[in-house]
A and B are shown apart, each in its own frame.
Chain A
């Protein structure tokens, strides 16, 4: 009986030890990537689209035989957009699965994983978060879209050129919102404008009337937004209160229900430009039953960048490691995925458009580079 007990324990330990030893990244059969995304919880809707974007790109490449004959496998971990959970997931992917690349999204979780990426030399690929701190959080963190500061710089210059010099700020009282507020405080005056008022809101708040009324008291030409939720309600209340100032913001404002609502007519926002060919969008919709939205496109694009780097590393017969993939990225520098992008720094320089919401559509009225 005792002997059987110890044989059982030994078997379990052996099984655990076996499962902990993952295939090395340069094995002939498959190459593993990791992804730490919010697949459930408040960020689940966006996280799911991000996952689909990666999957779509990887399945496309695998269907053609993989990269240099290697099939690509992505291991997904659900972080629910929580930084502490993200750290656990990152360590699990790197230490147990030995991945050399981890896709990520949301500023808080990405900033939490960045020091680990530096220490463990794992390429951390962000295609959704835009906090300014991401630009220099880690030499191993690459951002495939501009930061909020880049967008606000473009917006500030545009507003000044349109004669909208007096600006009031409505910002969310959290990391992303405060980061945007600080950028507005710095960049609007730099473009020749003036900040006349600022008012905080809470994440998830939907009653914006008091804040809009207070800001209106300062007679701004434009109210610039740094909020991520409740945009539709803000638009409707703005219209109901018959406010006269313009409303402007960044990509955060590209919310489909808000765009579709007539209340948002005339709202201006910067938009990181990314489009998918019609046939690709149709295939995506057929596969997943939903449109290929901004985040799906961004992560598809980011996956193609990583796969291009991987192809170079394999061609040069180097080890598939975060360090080598990073080196390949900066050697290639210019990529043509869904959009042209160039990596002079860790953050890609891409085109930023100025869009106006009108008649249920989001129409591009100007395009500027993020450099």
Chain B
């Protein structure tokens, strides 16, 4: 039964990680920017929601307002930082450093305002549990899974069935052609980062209901999500999500045979194996 509980735990963690991975994949596949500040937006969402709930705002409304805040910050970063750097012909390395700078600023502002101590959401509903076939899950965990699956499905639908989604895929596949056919890639980039920031806010708020808030916790999550994105195939929403779940499940199940400190090693081991046999990722287009 313990393995079943570990499997459930892995699925929950994997679903949350999957949403981070698909949001990061969306940004990277379209803009080719390694937007590490995405970890800061992820973290910021949780703190915004926490502050609002502390002031009596109902949980669902706090989530919506946190999403709005993250969307705005993401769009601002693209419009005021990345776009300006690209106009000045900055290299990808310079943009990466700038993104790291934004991440550091966000994290340090959060730490200064809220302290580096772990903060807990006051809402009691998240901790209540139910038994699903003998496996105990909390309400927060169940919500994470449901919201993650809905987000995955929603983004797939958006990418393939909506006009904006098709425009984004067109820009991602050929930015130069998109420019000359007046698809306005720069506007698309802002929209993409805004959408991705809104999406990443979901696990950014729901996961801390379970695990608490910390200013510097987003980086590890983003790193693992990046591995899932690359191993799944850059630009593949399904690839990023499936690999994120697979990584989390394997990390949890590996505890049955090895100490927990090796779980990150397991992650990188999986990544190396994939890169050796399938360098373009599991779900990359042929």
Binding site for B on A (CB under 8 A): 41-42, 44-45, 173, 199-202, 204, 206-207, 209-211, 213-214, 216-217, 229-230, 232-233, 236, 239-242, 257, 263
- Residues of A contacting B5 with CB < 8 Å? 209, 213, 241
B212 within 8 A of A: yes
- Residues of B contacting A240 with CB < 8 Å? 127, 129, 136, 138
- Residues of A contacting B210 with CB < 8 Å? 207, 233
Query: Across the interface, do B118 and A229 meet the contact criterion of CB distance under 8 Å?
Result: yes
Query: Across the interface, do A204 and B217 meet the contact criterion of CB distance under 8 Å?
Result: yes
What is the chain B residue whose CB lies nearest that of A44? B115
Query: Across the interface, do A232 and B259 meet the contact criterion of CB distance under 8 Å?
Result: no
When A213-B2, A240-B129 are in contact, do A233 and B261 touch as well, CB less than 8 Å? Answer: no
- Residues of A contacting B212 with CB < 8 Å? 206, 230, 232-233
Q: How far is the CB of A252 from chain B (nearest CB, A)?
A: 14
A sample of 28 inter-chain contacts (CB < 8 A) reads: A44-B116, A45-B115, A199-B260, A200-B259, A200-B260, A204-B118, A204-B214, A206-B118, A206-B214, A207-B13, A207-B210, A207-B211, A209-B9, A210-B260, A210-B263, A211-B255, A211-B260, A213-B6, A214-B256, A214-B260, A217-B2, A229-B118, A230-B118, A233-B118, A233-B120, A233-B210, A240-B127, A240-B129
The CA-CA distance from A232 to B214 in the complex, in Å, is 13
- Residues of B contacting A209 with CB < 8 Å? 5, 9
What is the chain B residue whose CB lies nearest that of A242? B136
The CA-CA distance from A228 to B146 in the complex, in Å, is 33
Further 10 A-B residue pairs, CB within 8 A, beyond A211-B255, A213-B6, A230-B212: A45-B115, A45-B117, A202-B261, A204-B216, A213-B5, A217-B2, A233-B118, A233-B210, A233-B211, A240-B127
B226 within 8 A of A: no
Q: Which of A42, A214, A240, A263 has the most CB of B within 10 A?
A: A240
The CA-CA distance from A42 to B115 in the complex, in Å, is 8
- Residues of B contacting A204 with CB < 8 Å? 118, 214, 216-217
The CA-CA distance from A349 to B223 in the complex, in Å, is 47
Q: Please report which residues of chain B, range 121-139, place their CB below 8 angstroms from some CB of chain A when the two chains form the complex.
A: 127, 129, 136, 138
B252 within 8 A of A: yes
What is the chain B residue whose CB lies nearest that of A206? B211
Task: State which of B2, B118, B261 has its C-beta within 8 Å of the C-beta of A216.
Answer: B2
Query: Across the interface, do B127 and A263 meet the contact criterion of CB distance under 8 Å?
Result: yes
The CA-CA distance from A210 to B263 in the complex, in Å, is 11
Query: Across the interface, do B261 and A200 meet the contact criterion of CB distance under 8 Å?
Result: yes
Query: Across the interface, do A232 and B120 meet the contact criterion of CB distance under 8 Å?
Result: yes
- Residues of A contacting B214 with CB < 8 Å? 204, 206
Q: Mark each residue of chain B from 217 to 228: 1 if its CB lies under 8 Å from any CB of chain A, else 0.
A: 100000000000
Query: Across the interface, do A199 and B136 meet the contact criterion of CB distance under 8 Å?
Result: no
- Residues of A contacting B251 with CB < 8 Å? 210
The CA-CA distance from A263 to B124 in the complex, in Å, is 12
When A206-B214, A236-B127 are in contact, do A199 and B259 touch as well, CB less than 8 Å? Answer: yes
The CA-CA distance from A201 to B116 in the complex, in Å, is 19
Q: Please report which residues of chain B, range 220-279, place their CB below 8 angstroms from some CB of chain A when the two chains form the complex.
A: 251-252, 255-256, 259-261, 263
When A206-B212, A210-B252 are in contact, do A232 and B138 touch as well, CB less than 8 Å? Answer: no
Binding site for A on B (CB under 8 A): 2, 5-6, 9, 13, 115-118, 120, 127, 129, 136, 138, 210-212, 214, 216-217, 251-252, 255-256, 259-261, 263
When A213-B9, A217-B2 are in contact, do A173 and B261 touch as well, CB less than 8 Å? Answer: yes
When A210-B255, A233-B120 are in contact, do A241 and B136 touch as well, CB less than 8 Å? Answer: yes
- Residues of B contacting A230 with CB < 8 Å? 118, 212
What is the chain B residue whose CB lies nearest that of A201? B260
- Residues of B contacting A173 with CB < 8 Å? 261
The CA-CA distance from A204 to B260 in the complex, in Å, is 15
What is the chain B residue whose CB lies nearest that of A198? B259
Q: How far is the CB of B213 from chain A (nearest CB, A)?
A: 9
Q: How far is the CB of A200 from chain B (nearest CB, A)?
A: 5
The CA-CA distance from A211 to B256 in the complex, in Å, is 10
Q: How far is the CB of A39 from chain B (nearest CB, A)?
A: 13
- Residues of B contacting A233 with CB < 8 Å? 118, 120, 210-212
Query: Across the interface, do B6 and A210 meet the contact criterion of CB distance under 8 Å?
Result: yes
What is the chain B residue whose CB lies nearest that of A216? B2
Q: How far is the CB of A79 from chain B (nearest CB, A)?
A: 15
The CA-CA distance from A44 to B138 in the complex, in Å, is 33
- Residues of A contacting B138 with CB < 8 Å? 240
The CA-CA distance from A33 to B68 in the complex, in Å, is 52
What is the chain B residue whose CB lies nearest that of A170? B260
The CA-CA distance from A42 to B174 in the complex, in Å, is 46
Q: How far is the CB of A238 from chain B (nearest CB, A)?
A: 11
- Residues of A contacting B120 with CB < 8 Å? 232-233, 257
- Residues of A contacting B6 with CB < 8 Å? 210, 213-214
The CA-CA distance from A233 to B255 in the complex, in Å, is 20
Q: Which of B5, B117, B260, B263 has the most CB of A within 10 A?
A: B260
Q: How far is the CB of A150 from chain B (nearest CB, A)?
A: 27
The CA-CA distance from A232 to B138 in the complex, in Å, is 16
The CA-CA distance from A206 to B213 in the complex, in Å, is 9
- The 4 A-B residue pairs whose C-beta atoms are closest, nearest first, are A206-B211, A42-B116, A214-B255, A200-B261
What is the chain B residue whose CB lies nearest that of A241? B136
Q: How far is the CB of B277 from chain A (nearest CB, A)?
A: 28
The CA-CA distance from A236 to B117 in the complex, in Å, is 17
Q: How far is the CB of B142 from chain A (nearest CB, A)?
A: 12
- Residues of A contacting B127 with CB < 8 Å? 236, 239-240, 263
The CA-CA distance from A337 to B217 in the complex, in Å, is 41
Q: How far is the CB of A181 from chain B (nearest CB, A)?
A: 12
Q: How far is the CB of A38 from chain B (nearest CB, A)?
A: 11
The CA-CA distance from A114 to B153 in the complex, in Å, is 59
Q: How far is the CB of A314 from chain B (nearest CB, A)?
A: 40
Q: Which of A207, A239, A263 has the most CB of B within 10 A?
A: A207
